[in-house]
Chains A and B, each alone.
Chain A
Amino acid sequence: MSATEAVTPSTGAAGGRSRLARGALAAAAIFYVALLLLLPLIGIVTKAFQPGVSIIGDTLSRPDVQHAFLLTGIITVITVVVTTFFGLVVAWVLVRQRFFGRSLMNAVVDLPFALSPVTVGLAAILLFGTGGWFTDFVTARGIQVLFALPSMVLVTIFICIPFTIREVVPVLEEFGLDEEDASRTLGASIWQTFRRVTLPNIRWALLYGVALSTARSIGEIGAVLIVSGTISGKTETATIYIFSGLEERLEAQAHVVALVLATVSIVLLIGIEWLHRRNELARSNT
């Protein structure tokens, strides 16, 4: 039973005083959120439109801006696909299998949350930069990793690894085992069982993880900044464009791109909220 009703005395002087207290608490919380989030959000809308509405069209028609959005999109898609697929594999292995080293694997999944994104970028340099562990291997094959797309994708994947896994694992833990066993005994193949039984169970958790990974990939700055080399038209993501734009005395353009990202985030947020609710509902209903 969820306590969504207000639980306070509602009569007499105690009621009046508590109503005041309640009001004050609510006001404090709302004020805090407004100061931290709502007002700055309004601030960036205002700042972006300061030079006039035409700045939007002017910015979005620049080829380097368009390429920045495209690059963010490419990195995000690859990251989400990889982390979702392999995240499912890992989640499955963690929940449905018993083996020596399972808790170690569990801990490794949490590692990306413990690292600052700049550390991830540093790792890429240590692996693929001068004297790096894999430098000779990739140079011999003519593959450019640093200051090019591959390193940017790799660091973003690292950062997004835990999302899918952490959302799917609790759902897999709570239900599905009996149904899956029943399905297998009745003769269904592994793939059929997965598609017909498991997937519907974890559907909302999976999508929720996808939404979180998407938001995180779009917003990544620390790691990609180190590995990208900020080559305009080649290795500038939308966030890097903002970062460089502020340096290039292209502040107006930077604010427009920031506004676009903020808008995309809000849309994504609505999706995240909805999926989160569906996920919670699904978990509490079964």
Chain B
Amino acid sequence: MLLSFKPARLAALFVAPILALSACGSGTNADGTTTCNGLPDQPTLSFAAYSTPREAYGKIISAFKSKWKDEHNDQEVIFQESYDGSTLQASRVVSGYEADVVALSLGPDVDQIADAGLITHDWTKEADGGMVTTSVVVFDVRPGNPLGIKDWNDLAKPGVEVLTPDPASSGGARWNLVSAWGSALRGYGGVTRGDEAGATTLMQGVLGNVLAYDSSARKSIQNFEDGNGDVAITYENEVITAQAAGKEDEAVYPPSSVLIENPVTVVDKNVDKHCVREVAEAFVEYLHGDEAKQIFADAGYRSTDLATAQKGGGDFPAIEDLWDVDEFGGWDALTTKLFSDTGIVTQAQAG
């Protein structure tokens, strides 16, 4: 098949600008690795986070940029931010989205990226175990709590419409359901302590009442705010953010909750490719610092120290029973139990 010159030439003409616009600077070696000559003049940091902390990170990123500018001769760092369901973001990073820093909802999503070979250091060995914020699971109810919701068994009552995100795409969803399971096993929500069958029935009851599984925690709470459903299971910080935005969301705290811990780490392969490791690591370090902690606290996040988180203080109510995933064998055991193909949640969603 002979190709006349004109189409081929024009094809090349339009491919070239596309490639140019998509390529990033720095020298690429023949084997694909990059040799970095220090930071680029205007370093660009690609930041992928889960759906809910965008307001908090908006402020933190501004603060970090000013600090960096002061300390590095007026150098401007550009942030390219993306916010969506935690698992969605992890899948995207694995599929080629070259994020330099990831701030996800739970450890397993970071592990997914590490398993793909993109994170080569042990992120759990960083400050605070790699976590930057914590939160608890709450029920977002209509003003005045018309249905008198107090605990998980109230969500399983017939006729109650529940909103929760989809565990396949949202980290928040998995926190919600782990909290339900764990609370039940610890003797709350009308279930006897240690009664797995009872806990299973409770889960099935709650899941049977789910009106819609939105793809991210933020989408779920907005669905609720649009007037759908009677109660939305969500992060405490999401309700606080909504209230700060003038919405009518009202939080009801179940007595027992899992300690939601949100990790942040640098994606080694990408920072080395983009030659921005210095900025990326500085940013992650900043997130563990006092300034960032204050901004997070103001935005509705709790301390990374469990005891402090449980006590609360100020606008944060004390939690009667606060526990972390290790109480039930960590994420591996919980994922098998709840979210695998034979898991309780998966079965309930299919049925």
Asked whether, in the complex, the Cβ of A231 is within 8 Å of the Cβ of B82, the reply is: yes
**Given the complex of chains A and B, what is the CA–CA distance between A144 and B98 in angstroms?**
9
With A140-B32, A143-B23 known to touch, is A150 a contact of B80 (CB < 8 Å)? no
B281 is an interface residue with CB less than 8 A from chain A:
no
Contacts of B80 in A (CB 8 A): 231-234
A197 is an interface residue with CB less than 8 A from chain B:
no
B154 is an interface residue with CB less than 8 A from chain A:
no
Interface pairs (11), CB distance under 8 Å: A74-B21, A78-B17, A86-B7, A144-B23, A145-B96, A147-B97, A231-B46, A233-B78, A233-B80, A233-B81, A247-B219
A153 is an interface residue with CB less than 8 A from chain B:
yes
Contacts of B18 in A (CB 8 A): 78, 149-150, 153
The listed residue (B54, B92, B222, B245) touching A229 by CB distance below 8 A is B92
Asked whether, in the complex, the Cβ of B23 is within 8 Å of the Cβ of A142, the reply is: yes
With A231-B46, A232-B81 known to touch, is A130 a contact of B10 (CB < 8 Å)? no
Contacts of B82 in A (CB 8 A): 229-232
A148 is an interface residue with CB less than 8 A from chain B:
yes
The total of chain A residues at the interface (CB under 8 A) is 35
Contacts of A135 in B (CB 8 A): 96
B2 is an interface residue with CB less than 8 A from chain A:
no
**Given the complex of chains A and B, what is the CA–CA distance between A67 and B245 in angstroms?**
25
The listed residue (B17, B21, B81, B94) touching A231 by CB distance below 8 A is B81
B95 is an interface residue with CB less than 8 A from chain A:
yes
The total of chain B residues at the interface (CB under 8 A) is 32
Given pairs A229-B82, A247-B218, 9 additional interface contacts (CB within 8 A): A140-B32, A142-B28, A142-B32, A143-B22, A147-B95, A148-B22, A231-B81, A233-B79, A248-B54
Asked whether, in the complex, the Cβ of A81 is within 8 Å of the Cβ of B14, the reply is: yes
**Given the complex of chains A and B, what is the CA–CA distance between A35 and B245 in angstroms?**
32
Residue-by-residue, is B199-241 near A (CB-CB < 8 Å gives 1, otherwise 0)? 0000000000000000000110010000000000000000000
A89 is an interface residue with CB less than 8 A from chain B:
yes
From 12 to 56 in chain B, residues with beta carbon under 8 angstroms from any chain A beta carbon are 14, 17-19, 21-23, 28, 32, 46, 51, 54-55
The listed residue (B14, B19, B96, B245) touching A146 by CB distance below 8 A is B96
Contacts of B32 in A (CB 8 A): 140, 142
B84 is an interface residue with CB less than 8 A from chain A:
yes
**Given the complex of chains A and B, what is the CA–CA distance between A234 and B46 in angstroms?**
9
Residue-by-residue, is B69-94 near A (CB-CB < 8 Å gives 1, otherwise 0)? 00000000011111110000000101
Expressed in whole angstroms, the minimum distance between the Cβ of A229 and any Cβ of chain B is: 5
Expressed in whole angstroms, the minimum distance between the Cβ of B314 and any Cβ of chain A is: 23
